[in-house]
Structure 1
């Protein structure tokens, strides 16, 4: 029987269980997973919610079956997809489920490993830039001039979300693109116009950003900031150079839960602040999810968009625990962890500590956060 991974809240164990092949709802596709990709939320969500479940959302593989209302996909198609976060039959499995509107065909020259780096990160970046920040899209842009150029600063630019934001910003003609990065500065240089090293400290970051913006004619203040980290002090740092009179900031985590001083942190009245949550493509922004999933396939096909660098974690589904722990421990740097499902083979069904030893955390600030359904 096919198998799937259940990630335990302690992130000290996963359980690999037998699961029948899912049956699609009318607007769903069932995918025989070739490669699953990991995201930081995949270890955080089970911990935050104290909920053991298959937390993977990035899928690349072959269509196995489709619901009765699906007409764009058929069995045998090579696809990538974004699974609905928190729902059953996630990507850490031999067979996974995705809505047809967040599924797209994979070009022949793109590997399953490359495709598995795209859905969550690229759609998060797209919803932040084009829904929340209302920036020009790559298909509705103009050649930047001194008069109409739009700057953007991306904190965490070598994370998968940050990197896709930079790539899309480039396609949209935004300039200058300023990226804040750390030990992956060389990769950051390929993505943006200017790189600022966060390891130099908050004061130097702020001074360097202001210097760049002054040089580019923006008076030292950033009109658009995308914070792809949104914890550990990044919220406060970006506020130091954000234009407080009309600036806009998009975060991937809610500031009222991840600011240093959660209860008192506030953006000035002149700032528009949005917590950009990709699950909206499965609820309030289905049309956006449909359009952008297909557009991502087109951008990959003609080479305008490149996948994120990746590392294959050995062991197939048995490697999921290792990958999630490496993410938790901050070992990922400009890389996405992916798992070749066919490498799973036969091994014990439980990895890590024994169930009786698991310690479930209930203290994380997102335990009660109302994530979009």
Structure 2
């Protein structure tokens, strides 16, 4: 072999070795950079505040402009899905219900004092001006409402419900009336734990407000000063859906266009669409049909027989995949999706899981 050929071979091998070293160095640098970026992202995620801890100004971003959707009809229950160009569901409208579930920015909710569970959801629950029916997307009212709802960044049903939880800051309206903030369940029972009731029930939304309320039938209710900033389970639902979101409210358990006074009244004669119903704990029910904002009803007090005696608002799956709800309870002294007085899950055989009887979509 000539010296020129030997020199060429050595140069070629030297070039290959140099390239190999360069590739190895680049791989090491890239791996190190990837690890650093991943660690930074993980740290940022840990430090990301829960939605119920964020300033209201950054709580939401408008999810769309309300145009260019395809509407599909599905069953069980009968409803209409609005889909975008990629086929993703942007909104769900259920026949006979005024609640619409829109897709928006993901929010995370926590309640550290009562549970390690967190709830993250991209569902934003809004009220339509009238109950949904098939083909309502072609009606003039809907186009105006839908465009506005998609751009709405104000607190929705879920955010409003959690404005009354543990440690929630008090907020007053322009008249100086407290309309949000950490709520109690009811006054201490003067008879101690008689009947296992440590706190008194029969506390409605107007007690929380401290304001006399006139109902559609012109009847009035006057607040009890000892129950200010408090409401029981049905009073909580009436505060969120009625006073805050504008759903009509009735004074008693009568059938009509508004929310009745008690959990049993809401479940039996109240408005909305029934999503599931069962008569005993062993009966299997499809809880996966529920959407955030649905009302859930329970039979958990043996003293009331078959009467439904507790209600709350479904939030969605928690970080472990279990369906979780929020309600006002005496054990937590107010609204909670935590685990005092029973885990706030509607699956399994736990206290509330076994006690679930009805779910409705308003």
Give the TM-score taking structure 1 as reference length. 0.25
**Larger relative contact order (Cα-Cα within 8 Å, sequence gap ≥ 6):** 1
Give the TM-score taking structure 2 as reference length. 0.26
